[in-house]
Amino acid sequence: MGRIAALTRSPVLIALVASLAIAGCASKKTPNSAADLGLSGAGAATPGSAQDFTVNIGDRIFFDTDSSSIRADAQTTLSRQAQWLNQYGQYAIVIEGHADERGTREYNLALGARRAAATRDFLVARGVAAQRLKTISYGKERPVAVCDDISCWSQNRRAVTTLSGAGS
């Protein structure tokens, strides 16, 4: 309880914890719980760390319904990602493609794959070495938001850039 009380006095930290919690749930392979990232310490992410990428750059982009086009807001995020990934070349990268539940299972596996590929292609076009990038589709099998309406579906139609390899 003491921890919660401390956090409530610091809205910035709460937002940080919340976004990390979402990231943790979406990318199983990347150990980025608050504790892993040393959050309880300074609060500011070490430049070049996975925490830095998730919090300061943004690890995910969102898509329109049944679309794999990179939206304008997503292009901004991905350009930041590319710049960061080019600066910190020690990471291997897995791009997870996801779909919302408003489609059938097999089609959504294909749609998630197409979103991951579109994200990969954008990063490659911005100079990230293709051999660092892998993609995987989870279709609609790994939602982060679990309600039954548009507010959740729009969060689930996403591609998440996850870091692995040396230095993660």
Other Cβ atoms closer than 10 A to 53 = 27
Smallest gap from Cβ 114 to another protein, in A, equals: 4
* Residue with Cβ nearer another protein (71 or 105): 105
For Cα atoms 64, 65, 71, give the angle at the middle one, nearest 5 degrees. Answer: 15
Q: Which is nearer to another protein, 13 or 152 (CB)?
A: 152
Q: What's the CA gap between 31 and 149, in Å, rounded?
A: 30
CA–CA dist 112, 27 (Å, integer): 15
What beta strand segments (E) does 31-116 contain?
Answer: 60-62, 92-98
Enumerate binding residues for another protein (CB under 8 A).
Answer: 25, 66, 68, 101-107, 109-111, 113-118, 121, 135-139, 141-146, 148
CB 113 to another protein: min, Å: 5
* Nearest distance from C-beta of residue 14 to another protein, angstroms: 20
- Of 84 and 138, the one with the shorter C-beta distance to another protein is 138
